[in-house]
Structure 1
Amino acid sequence: MTKIVLDAGHGGTDSGAVGNGLREKDLTLNIVKKIGDMLKDYEGVEIIYTRTDDRFIELSERAAIANRAGADFFLSVHINAGGGTGFESYIYNGNVSSATIAYQNVIHAEIVKAINVTDRGKKRANYAVLRETKMPAILIENLFIDNANDAAKLKSEQFLQQIAYGHVQGIVKAFGLKKKVNSTPSQPQQKVSDGKLYRVQVGAFSDRKNAERLAEELKKKGYPAIIV
């Protein structure tokens, strides 16, 4: 069993960064829940959340939750601020395992592919949740809340889904996770009324590769998918 701790940054009285009508604590919880929901489709995974609602948790307690659980991996999700743009990931700037470096390499690459934004690079920092956790730990900064263009993306549920998808693909590759045999839903029935066929659009992308990745994921889940 692979135990993965999902940490939604900030919460409660700590809103995190704010800008353009958004609050970091809300976005991180949204993304983390999406990651957890997607990981349910894989075998041998136990998901542990540091929070599932809007509450304040000390940084040391977040690390303690993971340590008490004997987790195999700790992922802390954040939104950046400071006027920049793009995505970056962090591991501890002290001694880390080779597994930590390998996981960062894989997960970072998959997120970049999924969201197609400026890659600010793989970095190191002395963050408490990275320093105090006893297992491989990564902290992700997903775009800048105070950048108007980044914020416009963060206001899209579909884009948040893509962010979560990138995280999940990275975790799947890093840990070699396999889809559950019974995770594929039955083929949806298309209902025709008066000769009209109704379809539901699930994504819109400027990069065709992102569209192809989502279409492939839908097909794996048993849904017919076309790209127009």
Structure 2
Amino acid sequence: MKTNRILLFVSFIIVLTFPSVVSSQAIDKFVVVLDAGHGGKDPGNLGNGFREKEIALKVVLAVGKELEKHPNIEVIYTRKKDVFIDLFVRGKIANKANADLFVSVHCDSHTSQAYGAGTFVLGLHRNKTNFEVAKKENSVIFMEDDYKKNYAGFDPNSPEDAISVILGLEEYLDQSIYLASLIQDNFVKLNRKNRKVKQAGFIVLHQTVMPSVLVELGFLTNNREGKYLNSKMGQQQMSSAILDAILKYKKSLDLNTAEVLIENNDLIESEPMEFDNVVFKVQIAASSRKLMPKPYNFKGLDAISRTREGNLYKYFYGNTSDYNKTKSLVQQAKSKGYKSCFVVAFKDDKKVSLSEVLKTKPN
């Protein structure tokens, strides 16, 4: 937390020193793609007789209507009426528009009286619950023509397939987490039960190449929450929460503070993701020089290790069997100037494929 405070102070100095940069960024059109989940032949979930596709569309249109009042924001909808849109097409719409943000809106369901609002970003399923949520939303592809061709044989019922599609696609993860946290904070202010920011392998997020989030407004299957989400008041409040978060996100970009704010590691729910006999490290450098693995040689970072591969010495920071902890290690290394650092995996002291390790089942 001390590091975050220092970074925040530095960003404040940057904002005061370079006002011209702020002004030029604010002039550019900020493109937001709003995606109302389901539609047409796909009603989404029908908890308590309510229709997910209708509620999602009403909320999306309300958000878009207010965003369109800002001259420097362009709003694009994946659908504005009750039509069926393939998941991969939704992503294509956003990519073609070179969007700055992609926000997909849905409603959840459960066999119990579960309730609460949650926001998801693309990533590995932290637990079975997250996988089940993603599986329900991903199952829409079975309604699409040529889904096997469009998704290269992807099976939404397979945890292994769900993991494989998102490996290496976390380029925009930090920004997505930041936006998701703003949305989630606003939901909490509405006294919605906080189901937190989580990661899961949603196909619709996988198809996009920009910061993207998927919002679960709440559970239509919950008697009380279903009525709330189906009401004008509920839809107005939830759309206002999403709208406010998007505007705050854009403002942070205009002020050059987003990169600092997303350094906060407490934004996303974190659960251990440990693998037997596997150690994860962050590679920070490779050199022909043999350096002592001491903090004074690596900008103060400790827990440095070294290996030799051919004529090169490779240097690594950290050592953990919990893959989730590597995100914190990467952020720490980047804060010291190692911007191109990345995670590697070792098994029995030998480097192994990170993607292959992550396809196996963690403890």
TM above 0.5, yes or no, is yes
Kindly indicate whether residue 89 of structure 2 is the aligned counterpart of residue 89 of structure 1: no
Q: Which residue of the other structure, out of 170, 173, 186, is the alignment partner of 1:110?
A: 186
| Aligned counterpart, 2:98 | 70
Kindly indicate whether residue 49 of structure 2 is the aligned counterpart of residue 21 of structure 1: yes
CA contact (8 A) 1:5 1:75 kept: yes
Kindly indicate whether residue 234 of structure 2 is the aligned counterpart of residue 159 of structure 1: yes
Q: Which segments of 5 or more consecutive residues in structure 2 lack a partner in the other structure?
A: 1-28, 124-165, 253-363
| Aligned counterpart, 1:150 | 225
Q: Which residue of the other structure, out of 60, 64, 74, is the alignment partner of 2:88?
A: 60
SS where residue 43 of structure 2 aligns? coil
Q: What is the CA distance between 1:129 and its match in structure 2? A: 1.2
Q: Which segments of 5 or more consecutive residues in structure 1 lack a partner in the other structure?
A: 178-228
For 2:95 and 2:188, the matched residues in 1 are separated by 29
Deviates more, 1:130-139 or 1:36-45: 36-45
Q: Which residue of the other structure, out of 60, 72, 87, is the alignment partner of 1:32?
A: 60
Runs of 4+ in 1 over 3 A off after TM superposition: none
For 2:98 and 2:171, the matched residues in 1 are separated by 17
CA contact (8 A) 2:177 2:197 kept: no
Q: What is the CA distance between 1:134 and its match in structure 2? A: 0.3
For 1:5 and 1:91, the matched residues in 2 are separated by 15
TM-score for the superposition, normalised by structure 1: 0.74
CA contact (8 A) 1:89 1:138 kept: yes
> Which one scores higher on RCO, CA 8 angstroms, separation ≥ 6?
1
SS where residue 76 of structure 2 aligns? strand
SS where residue 135 of structure 1 aligns? coil
SS where residue 197 of structure 2 aligns? strand
Once the two structures are superposed, residues 41-94 of structure 1 have per-residue CA deviations (whole angstroms, 9 ceiling, x without a partner) of: 323100000000000000000001000110000000000001310000000004
For 1:112 and 1:63, the matched residues in 2 are separated by 29
Q: What is the CA distance between 1:107 and its match in structure 2? A: 2.2
Residue type at the aligned position of 2:244: Q
CA contact (8 A) 1:112 1:166 kept: no
Q: What is the CA distance between 1:21 and its match in structure 2? A: 2.2
CA contact (8 A) 2:187 2:194 kept: no
Coordinate RMSD, CA, aligned: 1.3
Equivalent residues, number: 176
| Aligned counterpart, 2:273 | none
Residue type at the aligned position of 2:56: T
| Aligned counterpart, 2:348 | none
Once the two structures are superposed, residues 12-56 of structure 1 have per-residue CA deviations (whole angstroms, 9 ceiling, x without a partner) of: 000000021210000000000000111123231000000000000
CA contact (8 A) 2:184 2:194 kept: no
For 2:204 and 2:188, the matched residues in 1 are separated by 23
| Aligned counterpart, 1:7 | 35
Kindly indicate whether residue 111 of structure 2 is the aligned counterpart of residue 80 of structure 1: no
Percent identical pairs in the alignment equals: 36
For 1:154 and 1:34, the matched residues in 2 are separated by 14
SS where residue 119 of structure 2 aligns? strand
Q: What is the CA distance between 1:143 and its match in structure 2? A: 0.8
Deviates more, 1:74-83 or 1:33-42: 33-42
| Aligned counterpart, 1:139 | 214
Kindly indicate whether residue 177 of structure 2 is the aligned counterpart of residue 101 of structure 1: yes
Kindly indicate whether residue 201 of structure 2 is the aligned counterpart of residue 126 of structure 1: yes
| Aligned counterpart, 1:170 | 245
SS where residue 20 of structure 1 aligns? helix
For 1:88 and 1:111, the matched residues in 2 are separated by 8
Residue type at the aligned position of 1:40: E
SS where residue 56 of structure 1 aligns? coil
1:192-207 matches, cutoff 5 A:
none
Q: What is the CA distance between 1:132 and its match in structure 2? A: 1.2
SS where residue 58 of structure 2 aligns? helix
CA contact (8 A) 1:5 1:47 kept: yes
